Amino acid sequence: MMYLPPWSINYLVIVIATIILLKSISYILQQKKYNLPPGPKPWPIIGNLNLMGALPHQSIHELSKKYGPLMYLRFGSFPVVIGSSVELAKYFLKTHDVLFTDRPKTAAGKYMTYNYLDITWSRYGAYWRQARKICLVELFSPKRLESYEYIRVEEMQNLLRELFRSSGKVVILKDFMSTFSLNVISRMVLGKNYLGKSEGTIVLPEEFKRMLDELFLLSGVLNIGDLIPWLNFLDLQGYVKRMKKLSEKFDRIFEHVLDEHNDRRLHEGENFVARDMVDVLLQLADDPTLEVKLERDGVKGFIQDLIAGGTESSAVTVEWAISELLKRPEIFNKATVELDRVIGQNRWVEEKDIHKLPYIEAIIKETMRLHPVAPMLVPRQSREDATFNRYDIPKGTRVLVNVWTIGRDPTIWDNPNEFWPERFFGKSVDVKGQDFELLPFGSGRRMCPGYSLGLKVIQMSIANLLHGFKWRLPDGVKEADLSMEEIFGLSTPKKEPLQVVVKPKLLAHLYGA
């Protein structure tokens, strides 16, 4: 054990006491300068972090019952404002969207997105505006998404065939859904599936899925170093070490992908034609007219966002949807009746059929209401001082919109904790960012740029899974025993993966078996 002389211990105590005193004085001065929203009194140094449980969005939900829909907290050294109502969601995401378009600096952004060169965590400015334009115009345009429909169809057939082969066995649904989503997005973004077990494989699917789970966990954790900067060097929770290790793994994969794509570009020369999103990004990186040059690390940051976002949202949402339906067989039966009536028994659901399936659409909306993939969206940060109803929101305040709470607001939803798709009948509420009571993809300038792709994959997955199979829980497991607990990160998957038994109900040749 290292010996510390008494004078050094006394010096350390004085330093810590001084820091606490200065922080307390700074907080008191800020309280006097601004008329801050209501909230619990913070502790020195840690602020209100002591009130955050394992599921922060639920902790904040409970606090909002006491302090109201606009609430002020301190997360360590930083002020945080929470909006938990439709009015506040509209204020932050639409009315004053530009004011709250920035992102806070975090270790996740620094170490896992090439120092904020991705789409999600990039700071407000010319680079982010350019990134957003690339997504909307180049990567997720209706024309480009339509051109990739054949990929989604082929991978859906593979998913249905694999489930057919697993008939009667207990399977973990998310394993199948993650593989399906990963294959779809890999082929669209990378041009082929680099994650299989054939020649050209650079990482096994199981390992890559674990990497994605780690990415979403580390992107959403309350990292002490982000919140109390003078403790950052200690990495008390070990998160930064894990971030660096994970980033190195992703980087090796993306370097291989870029090298292979560049080799093809050089080989084909003037005859080169972009086949996938990486090709498009590499062409843009060579464009001298871009306002901000897209560097190699920026391309890798884009790739990571596209793969991670495209995989997680659909797999998590489908798992929650099937879980809810298994607890309510009568809703399952209504969906089956609609599918049999509109689609029939001789074919699969196609993307053009979705608008003819209002009950399926209602099930998806209801799932997203109760189980939004990002329950507090991605944090924003105010670029200037702002005011809402006489309350001040100082420049630099971190802003969270708790869509999890909005989805449970009894002034908006009847019996808000009940899974009841019929609540959407006769309502024009959509998930595309214009109806602030339902914001699974966010809204405004920082809305998820790939929401249209994610929605297509979710709709087709749920529709065909319900159309093609009968579902039940494993022997001995009752509906009441099905756990609906969450894990918190940037996304909120089920804590206990859903185990199910499926039985095909269509003609065998439709499964391609």
State how far the Cα of 45 lies from the Cα of 29, in Å rounded to an integer.
15
Q: Is the pLDDT of residue 9 over 50?
A: no
- Please spell the DSSP secondary structure of 102-157, one letter per residue: B----HHHHHHTTTT-SSSSPPTTHHHHHHHHIIIIIIS-HHHHHHTHHHHHHHHH
Alpha-carbon distances, residue 146 vs 139, 273, 328, 453 (angstroms):
11, 18, 35, 10
Residues in the chain: 513
pLDDT classification of 203: cutoffs 50, 70, 90: confident
Cβ burial, residue 370 (10 Å; 0-12/13-18/19+): buried
Residue located via tokens 């922060």? 56
Average pLDDT over residues 222-238: 95
pLDDT in tens, 102-139: 999 999 999 999 999 999 999 999 999 999 999 999 99
Average pLDDT over residues 60-74: 97
Contact (CB, 8 A) for 279 and 423: no
Average pLDDT over residues 344-356: 97
Q: Estimate the share of the chain in helix, then strand, then coil, as percent rounded to the nearest 5.
A: 55, 10, 35
- The pLDDT score that the predictor gives to residue 1 is 43
Domains of the chain with CATH codes: 34-511 (1.10.630.10)
- Please spell the DSSP secondary structure of 289-328, one letter per residue: T-SS---HHHHHHHHHHHHHHHHHHHHHHHHHHHHHHHH-
pLDDT in tens, 256-269: 999 999 999 999 98
Residues 6+ positions from 263 with CB-CB distance below 8 Å: none
Of residues 159 and 13, more confidently modeled: 159
DSSP state of 484: -
State how far the Cα of 448 lies from the Cα of 441, in Å rounded to an integer.
5
State how far the Cα of 439 lies from the Cα of 193, in Å rounded to an integer.
31
* Half-sphere exposure for 287 (CA within 13 Å, toward CB): 14
For residue 11, the tally of other CB atoms under 10 A from its CB is 12
Contact (CB, 8 A) for 338 and 355: no
Helix H or strand E segment including 171: strand 170-172
Residues 6+ positions from 478 with CB-CB distance below 8 Å: none
- The pLDDT score that the predictor gives to residue 10 is 53
Per residue in 109-127, is it b (16+ CB within 10 Å) or e — as a string? Answer: bbbbbbebbbbbbbebeeb
- The pLDDT score that the predictor gives to residue 259 is 95
State how far the Cα of 91 lies from the Cα of 411, in Å rounded to an integer.
18
Task: Take residue 296 and report the two structure tokens written for it.
Answer: 């190699």
State how far the Cα of 174 lies from the Cα of 326, in Å rounded to an integer.
15
Per residue in 219-233, is it b (16+ CB within 10 Å) or e — as a string? Answer: bbbebbbbbbeeeee
Task: Take residue 175 and report the two structure tokens written for it.
Answer: 């394993």
State how far the Cα of 364 lies from the Cα of 384, in Å rounded to an integer.
37
Share of the chain above pLDDT 90, in %: 87
pLDDT in tens, 384-397: 999 999 999 999 99
Is 135 flagged in the annotation as binding? no
DSSP state of 353: G
